[in-house]
Amino acid sequence: MRKPSLFTICLVIFIACWIFLRFIVGSVISVPIPNSVIVMYMALILIAILVHISVEDSRLSEFLRPIIETLVDENKRVRRIVLVVLIPLFVLGYTYTNIAQKASPPGDPRDAHPSPPLELTYKDEVLENTENPYRHLKKDDPEEFKSHVENGRKVYYDNCFYCHGDHLDGQGHFANALNPLPANFQDPGIIPNFQESFFFWRISKGGPGLPKEGTPWNSAMPIWEDHLEKDEIWDVILFLSEYTGYSYREVGH
Footprint on this chain of another protein (rule: CB under 8 A): 68, 71-72, 80, 83-84, 87-89, 91-93, 95-96, 99-100, 102-109, 153-154, 157-159, 161-162, 165-167, 169, 171-174, 176-179, 207-208, 212, 215-218, 220, 222-223
Quick one: 48 or 178, whose CB is closer to another protein?
178
**What does the alpha-carbon distance between residue 34 and residue 6 come to, in Å, rounded to a whole number?**
30
Q: How far is the CB of 153 from another protein (least distance, A)?
A: 6
Quick one: 21 or 160, whose CB is closer to another protein?
160
Q: How far is the CB of 130 from another protein (least distance, A)?
A: 26
Beta carbons of 219 and 210 less than 8 angstroms apart? yes
Q: How far is the CB of 84 from another protein (least distance, A)?
A: 6
The H or E element containing residue 121 is: strand 121-122
**Alpha helix (H) ranges present in the chain?**
6-19, 35-54, 57-72, 77-100, 137-140, 142-155, 161-164, 196-205, 230-244
Quick one: 212 or 253, whose CB is closer to another protein?
212
For the chain, helix (H) and strand (E) counts, in that order, are 9, 2
Quick one: 8 or 176, whose CB is closer to another protein?
176
Instruction: Return the SS3 of 42.
Output: helix
**What does the alpha-carbon distance between residue 100 and residue 170 come to, in Å, rounded to a whole number?**
37
Q: How far is the CB of 62 from another protein (least distance, A)?
A: 16
Quick one: 172 or 197, whose CB is closer to another protein?
172
CB neighbour list of residue 33: distance below 8 Å, 6 or more residues apart: 21, 22, 25, 26, 41
Q: How far is the CB of 250 from another protein (least distance, A)?
A: 26
